[in-house]
Amino acid sequence: MTKSVLIIEDEPNIVEAIRFFLIRDGWQVASHGTGDDALEAIRAQAPDLVILDVMLPGRSGMDILADLRADPATVALPVLMLTARGQARDRDLAERMGVSRFMTKPFSNAEVLDALRQLMPD
């Protein structure tokens, strides 16, 4: 069964890099570039997993994560959060809010793939 992921990230180069290695690994990949309507994209796509950037135009990834965890339909949706800011307080806040995994940019392809495989075992 193909696993699906929605990448919510505003940097096209990052989206394409992640898309490339996930497709090679057998994932179905969709992307969305803004925060203001990200929840609608998540509901419409119904992915198995979300990769969520912290800093997005329109609305922050932290706000989106809070809404996902407040909604019974998405409370258990695995979320891998990415950030260019590796500050401990961002990680702590995301963990308190219920993020599944937190990763700092730059990251290696292997790190992301390993994290996704752990979040979505076969």
Average pLDDT of the residues of the chain:
94
pLDDT in tens, 99-111: 999 998 889 999 9
- The Cα–Cα gap between 63 and 78 comes to 16
Q: Which listed CATH number (3.40.50.2300, 3.30.1490.100, 1.10.3720.10, 3.30.450.20) goes with 4-119?
A: 3.40.50.2300
Report the C-alpha gap between 115 and 111 in whole angstroms: 6
Is 90 exceeded by the pLDDT of residue 33?
yes
Whether the per-residue pLDDT at 47 is higher than 80: the answer is yes
Q: What percent of the chain has a predicted confidence (pLDDT) above 90? A: 84
Length of the chain: 122
Question: Are 75 and 106 in contact, with CB atoms under 8 Å apart?
Answer: no
Residue 86 — very low, low, confident or very high, per pLDDT cuts 50/70/90?
A: low
- Kindly list the distances between the CA atom of residue 3 and the CA atoms of 6, 19, 48, 69, in Å, as whole numbers in the listed order: 10, 13, 6, 21
Residue from 78, 80, 81 nearest 90 by CA = 81
CA distance 49 to 96: 19
In percent, the amount of the chain with pLDDT more than 70 equals: 97
pTM confidence score: 0.95
Distance CA 48, CA 83 (A): 21
pLDDT score of 91:
86
